[in-house]
Amino acid sequence: MIPTFAVVGHPNKGKSSIVATLAEDERILIGPTPGTTRSAHRHTFSIDDQPQYVLVDTPGFQRPRAVLDWLEERAGSASERPQLVARFVEEHADDPRFHDECELLRPIIEGAGILYVVDGSKPYGPEYELEMQVLRWTGRPRMALINLIGNGDYVDAWRQALDQYFSIVHVFNAVQADFSRRLALLRAFAELDEAWRGPLESAVEALTAERRRRLKRSAAEIADCLLTCLTLTERSALGEGNAQQQMEETLTRRLQDRIRRREQEARDRVQSLYRHQGLAREESASDLLATDIFTREGWELFGLSRTQLLVSGALSGAVAGGGVDVLLGGASLLLGAGIGALVGGAGAWFGSDELAKVKVLGQRLGGNVLQVGPVKAPNFPWVLLGRAVAHHGLVAEQNHARREAISLALSETQNFMGTLPDRLRRELADSFRKLSTEDADGGSQRALAMLIAEALAQESVKAPAAD
């Protein structure tokens, strides 16, 4: 048995927003104009092709007084009321006056539970009682949701009225609700009918497990993006008449463009994991995710501070020991692992503004090849990771009724990665060092993915709940 719920109510009270949120479907049309939904539409929420529950988006009531009058004129015993509602739908199926009422009542008489939606930011009015009375005649399990569309607050008045007609009343902001509040609402659905308890508890477990899988898959995608970006290079033959500086600038731009494209691909894939393929990202320079990877603002917002880089570089240098001469470009300062921490720290401090190494490679058949990259700036992986964590947090908590582009403002003095626990930051620094060497393998990438998953989970815990 798949629990099915008809989302009903007055026009333009957020019914479609609630369906979009609970069905994780960004394709559902949401608009401020009353009557956006003209027919009943079933939306099945599935995980791995296994249906969990069904939501029916319905038109709003248009003539509840006329429907109630028709029912009361033919009223018999209370036990006959559901059959009388079914008779009304049958007799008026082709009557354009009651098109909307027939559309919203049909799934209910076929066995759906009722989710009655009102706007708690608008005053309660007695005209809503007509709708509630019609719904009570169906005899189906009923729950009321007080949606908050505007800035007003009339929740208490609505509660007093709704409590007379519905066994459960919940306040639920369809646009702001985060994942935990969606789960709470599903658990409340289970209280409407004992037969739904088992399937809805299973749905909550499936959603929670899917949430964990999405986080791990996002971490794997981010790790792959980091590995790619840390090893990318651009090369071009350097002829006798070629201006090396001009070619170096051209190759640098190409390298930067490839890194930007790979980052955009990673964002698209993360959004797809959360069923947000159509979610727009702001491109304004003032927005968090539009800050360029290679600008100083990007280093400051998403990377580590110079002090944190020094500490992380020192710790990484202590681990690297004999390999720190590579960080310093082959300088003959290496005196053994005993000073590895000092040299590693200095490299992180003084190398934080470096973007990419430039090499002129000789060829046996004559001529030279100019190579730009890979990027060796110690803050570079931290910037990429900080941006990825910020993006993931926005996508993971954005529900599917919220259609504006994602953006977030951060203080210019805040280092996004600087809030990680020291132990996690140390392990990430060591992982970045390994990935930047030729010895990096699949195991190194998987280890990085596990650390990134921990960072994503840390950021999820710190994220404030939506209002």
pLDDT of residue 346: 40
**What residue segments make up the domains of the chain, in order of their start?**
4-175, 212-462
pLDDT of residue 279: 79
Q: What is the total residue count of the chain?
A: 467
pLDDT at 211 over 90: yes
pLDDT of residue 287: 57
pLDDT at 212 over 50: yes
Strand 50-57 relative to strand 4-9, pairing = parallel
Neighbouring CB atoms inside 10 A of 91's CB total: 12
pLDDT of residue 58: 93
Kindly state the average pLDDT of the residues 361-382. 76
pLDDT at 206 over 90: yes
Q: Which residue has the higher pLDDT, 287 or 403?
A: 403
pLDDT of residue 371: 85
Q: Decide: 456 and 389 in contact? Cβ < 8 Å.
A: yes
pLDDT of residue 410: 54
* Helix, strand, coil percentages, rounded to 5, for the chain: 55, 15, 35
What are the contacts of 179-183 at 24+ separation with CB within 8 A?
179/211, 179/396, 179/397, 180/465, 181/465, 181/466, 182/21, 182/22, 182/207, 182/399, 183/207, 183/208
> pLDDT-derived band of residue 14, with 50, 70 and 90 as boundaries?
confident
Indicate the SS3 state at residue 93. Answer: coil
pLDDT at 409 over 70: no
pLDDT tens readout for residues 98-150 = 999 999 999 999 999 999 999 999 999 888 999 999 999 999 999 999 998 87
Q: Which residues contact 152 (CB under 8 A, 6 or more apart)?
A: 120, 121, 122, 123
* Weakest mean pLDDT among 71-85, 171-185, 299-313, 372-386: 299-313
> pLDDT-derived band of residue 452, with 50, 70 and 90 as boundaries?
very high
* Weakest mean pLDDT among 25-29, 79-83, 155-159, 278-282: 278-282
Pick the CATH number of 4-175 from 3.30.70.20, 3.40.50.300, 3.40.50.150, 1.10.10.10: 3.40.50.300
Structure tokens given for 283? 């491109």
Kindly state the average pLDDT of the residues 245-263. 89
pLDDT at 438 over 70: no
pLDDT at 299 over 70: no
pLDDT at 302 over 50: yes
**What is the C-alpha separation between 268 and 260, in angstroms, rounded?**
12
Q: Residue 382 phi/psi, 5° resolution? A: -70, -40
Q: Which residue has the higher pLDDT, 1 or 75?
A: 75
pLDDT of residue 33: 56
pLDDT at 208 over 80: yes
User: Considering only CA atoms, which of 197, 403, 393 is closest in space to residue 302?
Assistant: 393
pLDDT at 178 over 70: yes
Kindly state the average pLDDT of the residues 237-254. 80
pLDDT tens readout for residues 150-166 = 788 899 999 999 999 99
Q: Which residue has the higher pLDDT, 449 or 174?
A: 449
> Rg for the chain (alpha carbons), in Å?
30
Q: Where are the alpha helices (DSSP H) in 274-354?
A: 296-302, 306-320, 324-327, 340-350
pLDDT tens readout for residues 30-71 = 765 555 556 889 999 999 999 999 999 999 999 999 999 999
Amino acid at 450: M
Mean predicted lDDT score pLDDT of the chain: 81
Amino acid at 461: V
